[in-house]
Amino acid sequence: MSDACGLVRLLRPAPQTDHSSLPPELWIDIFRYATYVPRIRGLSPGDPFEPQRPSNYAWGVNTPVSSLATKRNVVLVCRAWYCLATELLYEHVVISSRRRAFLLLRTLHHSDRMVRRMQARGEITEGLARWVRHVEIHDCARTSKSLHFWSAVAAILSLLPNLHVLSGIWERPLAKNLLEVFSRYLTSSIQGLYWDEGLIPEGEPSLLSSAFLPKYQSLRVLDIRKLRLEDPDTFPADTASSISLPSVVDLLLPTCPAVLGFARKLELPRLRRLVLDAANLRRNSSSYVSSSLNKLLAAHGPKITTLELLPMTSLSYQASPISITTFLQPDVCPMLETFVFDCREKLLNARSPPPSSLSSTPALPASSTRPPSFSAPPTPSRNAPEPELHTPNRTLRRIGIRGMGISRLYPNRPSHAQEHLHSLLRHRALFPVLETVRTVGFLVDACTDQFARDIFIWWTEKFEEQGLDMQDGEGVVWLYTDPADGKQEIVAQDEIVAEDRASLVHKSDAEEVKSAKA
C-alpha cells in the first residue's frame, strides 16, 4: 500500500507557483514597500507616536530619484506588472522644468487619445491622469520662468480629476496672474496643500488670500511652514478678516507673527493637530512671536488634541524663546492629549501644588458635554516672567521628546535633556493622567553603545516608580527579564547615589567607581 501511494505521488505533478498566482493586492503592497518614500501620498504629519523601526534596505535608502527609477523598471518587466505598477508610477509627479512639463503633458494627451479610441470600440477604460494624486512643482530651472512652462502646468492641472495633494516650491514670489492659474485650474477636491514661497513683499498677492484659499473646502492639511514674508510683522494685502476651511485637521505654521495672526482669523472647526516650526525664529522678535502665539492659542487652543513644537535651526544647541510651559496650561489647550517637543527646548517651569489641593480638584468626566473653560495666556512684554504651571493638566496622556541620544542619557553626565526627564518626575502630580513618555526618533535597538539598554532601563525604572511608561522610538518599554534556571546575570553597572543624583558607571572601571563613591 505504501509503494502504491509513493507511485501516485511520483506520477502526480508537483504544484507549480509563479508570480501570477499572487493576488494583485499583495503585489501592490510589495511594490509600494520597495518604493516607499515619506510624504508621497499625503502631507499629513501623522501620529508622532507611530512605532518606528530600525532602517533596513527598503525603508532606509530610498530617495525620490531611486524610488522613481525602481518604478520605471517594474513597469517594464511584463504586461501584468505594467498594469499593476502604473498606479505607483504616476501617483507622485514632479514638474521642475519646461521639458518635464511638456513630456508629462504629451503622455497624458496620448493616454486620452488611446482611451477615446478604446471607448469608441465599446471598451470601458480610463487614462493615466486618473492615477495622479500628488503634483510637486518647482521653479528652480531657468526654463520654469517662461510662459510656455506655466501654460503646460495649467494644462496638466486641468487634466487631473483625482488630484489630492499640491506642493509648490518657489524661489521668488509668484505674480498675481500665476496665482490665478492655480485658482482656475486646480480642482476643488484638493486635500493637502504645501506652499514654500520666497520673500513676499508687503502689498503683493499671496496664496493665503480670500480669492484663492476659500475655494478648497475639502482641504484637510495646510502646510505653510516655509512661507516667508519680506516683513514678518506685516501680512500681504488682500486677506479677508475671516476665511472658513471646515475640513482642515492638520495645520503646520511657522513662528512668524504675521502668519500666526493670519491663522488666528481662520475658521477651523475640525482642527485637531497643530505643528509649530521655530526653525527660522529670530530672537530679537521673540516677544512679538509670543504675543501672536498667545492670540492663536486663544482662538484655536480649545480644539487642539496634538501639538508639536519643532526646534530652531541652530548649531549652538540653544533653546528657542518659546516656552513649552505655555502649551501645558490646562486653560490654554484644555483638550491637549499629545505634546511633542525637542530636548533642547526650555525646561518646564512648574510649581507642584500640595497633595490636599490635588485631591480636592475633581476631574471632568469623560462623558461630559460641557465645553471646558479656557482663557488666553497673558500677553508677554519684553521683561515679563516665564509662565508657570501650577494647576494639574488632566488631559495630557502622551509626551514625546525628540533629539534624545544615548550620550545625553548617561546619569553621571548631567545634560539639559535629562533635566526634562527629571522635571516630569519631579512634577508628576501636575499630570495625573499622563501615561507615556517616549524618546521620539531614538531607538535603543539601533544604538551602537554597548550600555544603551542598561542606561535606558535605568530611566525606565525611574519612570515606572511614578506609574509612567518610558518608551523608545519603537514604542518598547525596556526592562530586565528574570534570569532562567535561577542563574543571576552579572550586572554591568552599579547604581551609586551621590549629591542627590544617581550615577551609572561601569564596574570594571575601578577608578570611576571609587571617585563616584567618594
Question: Mind listing the pLDDT tens digit for each residue in 374-414?
Answer: 455 555 444 556 788 989 999 999 999 998 989 899 988 88
**Segment (H or E) for 170:** none
Average pLDDT in the chain: 80
Grid coordinates given for 475: 514604542
Confidence of residue 171 (pLDDT cuts 50, 70, 90): confident
Asked whether residue 420 carries a pLDDT value surpassing 90, the answer given is yes
Q: Using one digit for the tens of pLDDT, what is the confidence trace for 245-283?
A: 999 999 999 988 888 888 998 999 999 999 999 887 776
Three-state secondary-structure class, residue 503: strand
What is the predicted pLDDT for the residue at 93? 92
Starting at the edge strand found earlier in the chain, the sheet holding 398-402 runs: 92-95, 134-138, 165-169, 192-196, 221-223, 250-254, 273-277, 306-310, 338-342, 398-402, 436-440, 469-471
Which residue has better confidence, 170 or 237?
A: 170
Burial pattern 208-226, b for ≥16 Cβ within 10 A else e, equals: bbeebbebbebbbbbbbbb
Confidence of residue 358 (pLDDT cuts 50, 70, 90): very low
Read off the pTM: 0.81
Segments making up each domain of the chain, as ranges: 323-351+388-481
Confidence of residue 240 (pLDDT cuts 50, 70, 90): low
- Give the CA-trace dihedral at 250, 253, 259, 260, to 10 degrees: 80
Among residues 74, 69, 193, 198, the alpha carbon closest in space to that of 135 is found at 193
- The torsion angles phi and psi of 367, rounded to 5 degrees, stand at -90, 5
Q: For 288-297, 360-369, 423-432, which range has the lowest pLDDT when averaged over its residues?
A: 360-369
Distance CA 391, CA 32 (A): 48
Confidence of residue 426 (pLDDT cuts 50, 70, 90): very high
- Residues forming a β-bridge with 167: 136, 194
Confidence of residue 4 (pLDDT cuts 50, 70, 90): low
CA distances from 40 to 11, 105, 187 (A): 51, 21, 19
CA distances from 22 to 26, 27, 74, 472 (A): 7, 7, 16, 37
Confidence of residue 45 (pLDDT cuts 50, 70, 90): confident
Burial class (CB within 10 angstroms; exposed 0-12, middle 13-18, buried 19+) of 25? exposed
Q: For 45-54, 369-378, 460-469, which range has the lowest pLDDT when averaged over its residues?
A: 369-378
Q: Is the separation of the CB atoms in 219 and 249 below 8 Å?
A: no
